[in-house]
Homo-oligomer: A and B are copies of this chain.
């Protein structure tokens, strides 16, 4: 299988190359791209004998990526680019009928409907690489979608599970970065602490599986062993489980519909002892509700939500605002967002507007 990895020097990119290393030649790296980390990209290109290696920092980077992913010899494109830059290459790959293993959040959150339309028309296939959506994708295999009542996304609850608003008012950046289960970059770790990660996943699930909001649920599961649960109309459920390791989802996406031996270590349920569940405390963690509101508002609202969140989280990481300011700032920017129907060309402009607006609101705090 010929693979292209967009964003190969990041955390997902490196895990993907680890999966390729263990593939015993079954997966061939045809192309690699990175935004700016030239040295690491060169090392990867050398190790995997990548035919095409693109540093996308140049002004014609996007065109090069689109050219790469649409080459006839490409089978699968793993999109691990962070941010909007993933959108056009992902759309181009789908249009060309490729399998797109999608690890980028922004594309689905802001343009999920568009991506799914492109999948339908272009003949390509999106396989989600996020562990929750990958879990749901696995559990849905072989079952008629009309027999499914609900999709359940699980979340560990993050480092502040059980905290009161009063306690949250004082939390430090260091505490927010201390995730109990997953090792991830700082931005997404803060998203796990605010539960905005569940909000973004909620929006993604709505588009990936074409499910209505009322049929998607979020549940806290502190052990992070069950990643997603499909609830059927007859009252049965299928829960997908694995150790919390991104390689599980990446490997499944690359080997689909088959599986790779020992992609991750097997679960030992006897050692794990128990799997617990509790409701989301939506009053203390309002980011999930904000995301659901953005989905309901439609248009550019998810784009604004995403941009405002990024800026607010950045300000928190730079110790410019407090933890509880994050949802406040997102809400404030969303209130003044333009109410228009979505056009792809406008996405970048609205995104920039929301970032600027949120920064202004931060300055006036």
Q: Is the CB of B278 within 8 A of A275?
A: no
- Nearest opposing residue in chain B for A261, CB measure: B233
| Cβ–Cβ contact B242 & A237, under 8 A | yes
Interface check A143, CB cutoff 8 A: yes
Q: Which of A10-18, A157-165, A249-257 contacts B (4 or more CB under 8 A)?
A: A249-257
Please pick, from B239, B243, B277, the residue contacting A272 in the complex, using a CB distance under 8 A: B277
Q: Give which listed residue, B229, B240, B270, B276, contacts A277 with CB less than 8 A.
A: B270
Q: Mark A257-277, 1 if CB is under 8 A from B, else 0.
A: 111111111110110111111
- Given known contacts A142-B143, A270-B279, is B241 in contact with A237 (CB within 8 Å)? yes
Q: Which residues of B contact A138 (CB under 8 A)?
A: 236, 238
B277–A274 contact, CB under 8 A?
yes
Tell me, in angstroms, the Cα distance from A266 to B229 when the chains sit together: 13
Cα separation A147 to B142 with both chains bound (whole Å): 14
Contact between A243 and B235, CB atoms less than 8 A apart: yes
Contacts A274-B274, A275-B274 given: A241-B236 contact, CB under 8 Å? yes
- Smallest CB-CB separation from A249: which chain B residue? B236
Q: Which residues of B contact A147 (CB under 8 A)?
A: 258-259
CB neighbours of A258 from chain B (8 A): 144, 147
Give chain B nearest CB distance to A16 CB in angstroms.
Answer: 15
How distant is A359 from chain B, measured CB to nearest CB, in Å? Answer: 39
**Distance from A205 Cβ to chain B, minimum over Cβ atoms (Å):** 18
Among A234, A243, A248, A262, the one with the most B-chain Cβ atoms within 10 Å of its Cβ is A234
Q: Which residues of the partner chain B approach A28 to less than 8 Å between Cβ atoms? A: none
Q: Are B238 and A239 in contact (CB under 8 A)?
A: yes
* Interface: A322 (CB within 8 A): no
Measured between beta carbons, the chain B residues less than 8 angstroms from A255 are 234
Kindly list chain B residues whose C-beta atoms are within 8 Å of the C-beta of A269: 219, 229, 277
> Does A139 touch B at the CB level, under 8 Å?
yes
Interface residue from B142, B252, B270 paired with A236 (Cβ < 8 Å)? B252
Question: What's the minimum C-beta distance from A40 to chain B, rounded to whole angstroms?
Answer: 27
B-contact bits for A142-168, CB 8 A (1 contact / 0 none): 111001010000000000000000000
Determine whether the beta carbon of A240 is less than 8 Å from that of B238.
yes
With A258-B144, A276-B273 as known contacts, state yes or no: A234 contacts B264, CB within 8 Å: yes
Do A141 and B139 contact each other (CB < 8 Å), given the known contacts A234-B261, A270-B278, A277-B269?
A: no
Give complex CA distance A274, B276 in Å.
Answer: 4
The minimal Cβ–Cβ distance linking A69 to chain B, given in whole angstroms, is 26
Q: A259 contacts which of B234, B252, B275 (Cβ < 8 Å)?
A: B234
Given A141-B142, A266-B149, A260:B238 Cβ within 8 A: no
Question: A268 CB to closest chain B CB, in angstroms?
Answer: 9
Q: Would you mind naming 23 contact pairs between A and B with Cβ atoms under 8 Å apart?
A: A142-B143, A231-B266, A233-B260, A233-B262, A234-B251, A234-B255, A234-B261, A234-B262, A234-B263, A235-B242, A235-B243, A235-B248, A235-B263, A235-B265, A236-B240, A236-B241, A236-B248, A236-B252, A236-B259, A236-B264, A270-B277, A272-B277, A275-B276
Known: A269-B277, A274-B277. 19 other contacts (CB 8 A): A138-B236, A141-B143, A226-B239, A231-B266, A233-B259, A234-B248, A234-B259, A234-B264, A236-B248, A236-B252, A236-B259, A236-B264, A237-B240, A237-B242, A237-B267, A238-B238, A270-B279, A273-B278, A275-B275
